[in-house]
Structure 1
Amino acid sequence: MLSALAASLFLAVSDRVRSRVLPHLVSFATGALLSAALLGLLPHAIESAGAADSHDIGLTLLGGLLLFFVLEKMVLWRHCHADVCEVHVSPEPHAHAHGHNHHRHPNNHSHEHGRDRASATLILIGDGFHNVLDGVLIAAAFMTDIHLGVVTAIAVCAHEIPQEVGDLAILLNGGMSRLKALTLNLLASVTSVLGGVLAYFAMAEVQQVLPYAIAIAASSFLYIAVADLIPGLHRKVDPGSGVWQLVYIVLGVVVIYVSHNLAH
């Protein structure tokens, strides 16, 4: 919810300011996620499981990466089908003579409007589901170690702020007012509380699964950073952008590293 509220501040600034600040937030989130996974979550998962089960932690990490790959494929598949709007079939030249070679022309207005509304709906569903998982991951981290929970929460916030800004942009583009977009985005964020409560009561009875839940958390952070955020950073190829990206990635690493050490 803090991430959603912080992101809502961008509703009050100009498009020019948003476009300048958002790339830096994405770079910072990349460093925060990578350091939280590799410096915080994985060491704790291995330590909690014990040396004898360290290979199982590695296997869980691999399985988590594959799981998030499949989930993203499913989301992309849904987006692909959501993009299918009403089309008009019109014959190409000589089609009347030959009775085939039909060409599909989309109704541009209804097609674009349908895509915008579908994207707004899907982003709310996807964000709500994602926040449930975030709540589960944060709860698992706190149940392992309160300091690890704080670090995990910081990393989640760092990742969520730029994502929430993007979500708000999609909602506004789907025809929602600023108030409605903000309200629905906050409601979607509340699902993280539900995930945390459910995870607490479920995992309290089976403490032995916590190291593997932490490994799943690490896999989610790694997948988001490597598969989603970093490819977006590579879209800018000029040296100046690359330098600033590296600066903010390192800043994200430093913030998580320092907060982790101070917590201990």
Structure 2
Amino acid sequence: MPVAFWSALLTSLAAAIVTTLGIWTIRRFADWGQRHSAYFMCFAAGVLISASFLHMIPKAFALNPHGPAMLLVGFFGMHLFNRFITAFVCDRDPQRKDYALGILPMLGIGFHSFIDGCIYSITFTSSVLTGLLATVGMVLHEFPEGIVTYLLLVKSGFAERRASWLAFMAAAASTPMGMLVSWPMVSTIDQPTLGLLLALSAGALVYVGATHLLPRAEQERRRYSLVALGGGILVAAIIVLSKA
């Protein structure tokens, strides 16, 4: 196997480990996490929305002129899936009325993490140095991503053990999976295709942040919620600058 393959695999595994550490940390301090879940939702919304608008959407539009259409598909696709979950899961089982709060972010983050794995393949194929530079920015958001995914699943009604496994599969395991799946096809994943995938992912993440996380956090009206939101925006800006 070429050096580029092992470099991409090891860095994607490192990203998964960092995400897993986030999940383990928040489960270890579960009571504290539950008490401050509104702050985590605001922080997550700041990261997801800002990273989408500051980096993913401009990048997608630059790579593919059809990016705006795919952005719309990602946004309304998540809306339709939300309606499906609400109608066929939540409404039929009152005990699962909040499941959509955890499932939708999990799917959005999982798809985003899978795309991250594809990006590892593409950047390391270009050169090992390019891949390492991309890694610096991408790994920054893995730790809070694991925390947020787990917390939202628990808050929506999933048991802690099940939430841990779902968060691990969606936010952690999906990154090396995306790298391994995309590696054999990396020569056929051209930039226009990557642009469409990024736009789709961005649309899903904007929907999750703007229509699920922020409204739910506003319902709890915590004193420092705006500070948490600003922190998420700041972290997203740091991630974008580190990738520049």
TM-score for the superposition, normalised by structure 1: 0.65
For the 8 Å contact 2:34–2:151, the answer to whether it is kept is: no
Alpha-carbon spacing, 1:59–1:235, altered in 2? closer, same or farther (3 Å): same
Residue of structure 2 aligned with 1:250, choices 206, 230, 233:
230
Residue of structure 1 aligned with 2:80, choices 43, 66, 70:
70
Residue of structure 1 aligned with 2:36, choices 15, 18, 21:
21
Residue of structure 2 aligned with 1:43, choices 58, 67, 78:
58
Deviation at 1:217, TM superposition (A): 1.7
Equivalent pairs counted in the alignment come to: 213
- What is the CA–CA distance in structure 2 between the aligned matches of 1:211 and 1:187, rounded to whole Å? 25
- What is the CA–CA distance in structure 2 between the aligned matches of 1:190 and 1:202, rounded to whole Å? 19
Counterpart position of 1:158: 144
Counterpart position of 1:215: 199
Alpha-carbon spacing, 1:211–1:229, altered in 2? closer, same or farther (3 Å): same
Alpha-carbon spacing, 1:171–1:263, altered in 2? closer, same or farther (3 Å): same
For the 8 Å contact 1:136–1:198, the answer to whether it is kept is: no
1:230 aligned onto 2:188? no
Give unmatched runs, 5+ long, in structure 1. Answer: 85-111, 173-177
Q: Which amino acid aligns with 2:26?
A: F
- What is the CA–CA distance in structure 1 between the aligned matches of 2:166 and 2:75, rounded to whole Å? 30
Q: CA RMSD in A?
A: 3.4
1:152-209 CA-partner distances (Å, limit 9, x unpaired): 554465344222123346443xxxxx66764565456424432343244445413131
Deviation at 1:259, TM superposition (A): 3.0
TM-score for the superposition, normalised by structure 2: 0.70
SS in 2 for 1:217: helix
Counterpart position of 1:61: 71
- What is the CA–CA distance in structure 2 between the aligned matches of 1:136 and 1:202, rounded to whole Å? 14
1:136 aligned onto 2:119? no
Q: Which amino acid aligns with 1:18?
A: G
For the 8 Å contact 2:146–2:167, the answer to whether it is kept is: no
1:80 aligned onto 2:90? yes
For the 8 Å contact 1:168–1:181, the answer to whether it is kept is: yes
Structure 1 segment 173-184 matched on structure 2, within 5 A:
182=164
Counterpart position of 2:4: none
1:27-56 CA-partner distances (Å, limit 9, x unpaired): 11111111111111111122223xxx2xx2
Deviation at 1:132, TM superposition (A): 4.8
- What is the CA–CA distance in structure 2 between the aligned matches of 1:200 and 1:42, rounded to whole Å? 24
Alpha-carbon spacing, 1:153–1:12, altered in 2? closer, same or farther (3 Å): closer
Q: Which amino acid aligns with 1:258?
A: I
Alpha-carbon spacing, 1:250–1:200, altered in 2? closer, same or farther (3 Å): farther
For the 8 Å contact 1:33–1:222, the answer to whether it is kept is: yes
Counterpart position of 1:8: 24
- What is the CA–CA distance in structure 1 between the aligned matches of 2:212 and 2:73, rounded to whole Å? 18
Deviation at 1:232, TM superposition (A): 0.8
1:194 aligned onto 2:177? yes
1:124-170 CA-partner distances (Å, limit 9, x unpaired): 9x95x656523332134443785566545544653442221233464
Moved over 6 A (4+): 178-181
Give unmatched runs, 5+ long, in structure 2. Answer: 1-15, 124-129
- What is the CA–CA distance in structure 1 between the aligned matches of 2:44 and 2:169, rounded to whole Å? 23
